[in-house]
Every structure is written in C-alpha cells, then in structure tokens.
Amino acid sequence: MVPRQPWFERRFTFDLPVAAAPGLLERLRGTPARLTDRLSGVPAARLTRQVQGRWSILENVGHLGDLEELWATRVDDLATGRDTLRAADLENRRTHEAHHNSRTLDELVARLRAPRRELVRQLEAADEADWLRSALHPRLRERMRLLDLAFFIAEHDDHHLATISDLLRRPD
C-alpha cells in the first residue's frame, strides 16, 4: 500500500471550477453512509483498538463529527464576508477529550449525520457568487473559496476514511 501523507503536511491547490460543486456535495453527503457501510459488522473491540497511541476507528469517526461545528462557522464566515476564517484547534482537544471509544458506531455516525445534512443543505442553497466568495485560511495562509472549503472538508473526510481502512487492514 502507498503510504499516505500526514494531514498537516498536505498542500492544496484551490483551482477547481465552480462546476465541481455538485460532485463535492455528493462526497460530503455520502460520508456518513460510507462510514456505516465500511464499518458495519466490525467487532467493538476492533473499533476501539488504538495502534501506536493513535486514534482508534471510533475516535476517527468521532473526530469527523467534532469538526462539523468548525465547518459550519467557516461557511458562516464566508457568508458574512469575514476576511479570515476562524482557526481550528490544531491540537484536536475536543476529540482527545470526547471519549469516543465509550460510544457506539451508530451514535457517532448519527452525531455526524445531522450537522452534515445541514451543511449540505446550506451548500445546495448557494449560488455561483456564494461558491466563489473567499477568505484567508489561517493555517494554510491562502484564500479559500466556499468551493475550496467544500473540497477541503471532502478531502479531510477521505483522509480519515483512509486511516480507518488502514486500521481495518491491520491484523488482529
């Protein structure tokens, strides 16, 4: 398997055409279903196992739900014309303190599903001018359009889905 690049080492080129928005919406809409499909039937002990001190499968799933509030605030930042998007907690304290391993997969996916549905609803209501509105991303130090934010979120989802797949491939 090809090794994945750590998330904070990733660099992005924000040059997608606005016509990419419908496909991005489908990626975002599908994350909860993809998690359920990928993890249905996996034993609880496997879902909570940490490898080398890293997040378990459930902690990765919980982390996706933890970030929905950040994504919503950034959509709001763009809609209200803020010049800089609100910063993320780069230490991921919320995820570290959440005790996601004490929850079920169904609980964690449900916790992601409702705010993700609202995010997709807001993005579906955006017109072309909304998709092209931009603000500075505080960590990347680049201007990010709503379109780029949707791409960034979809890439973040896929990063954690790939991490989950890596964990599932590990022998028991």
Structure tokens at 53: 């001190």
Residue 15: name the closest of 157, 156, 129, 132 by CA: 132
Check residue 113 and give its pLDDT.
98
Question: In the structure, what pLDDT confidence band is assigned to residue 112 with cuts at 50, 70 and 90?
Answer: very high
Question: In the structure, what pLDDT confidence band is assigned to residue 126 with cuts at 50, 70 and 90?
Answer: very high
pLDDT tens digits for 3-19? 888 898 999 999 999 99
Check residue 115 and give its pLDDT.
98
Sequence ranges of the domains in the chain: 7-169
Check residue 17 and give its pLDDT.
97
Query: What pTM did the predictor assign?
Result: 0.96
User: Which CATH class for the 7-169 domain?
Assistant: mainly alpha
Question: In the structure, what pLDDT confidence band is assigned to residue 75 with cuts at 50, 70 and 90?
Answer: very high
- Residues whose CB is less than 8 angstroms from the CB of residue 60 and which lie 6 or more positions away in sequence, other chains included: 160, 163, 164, 167
| Alpha-carbon gap, residue 53 to 32, rounded angstroms | 25
| Alpha-carbon gap, residue 97 to 91, rounded angstroms | 11
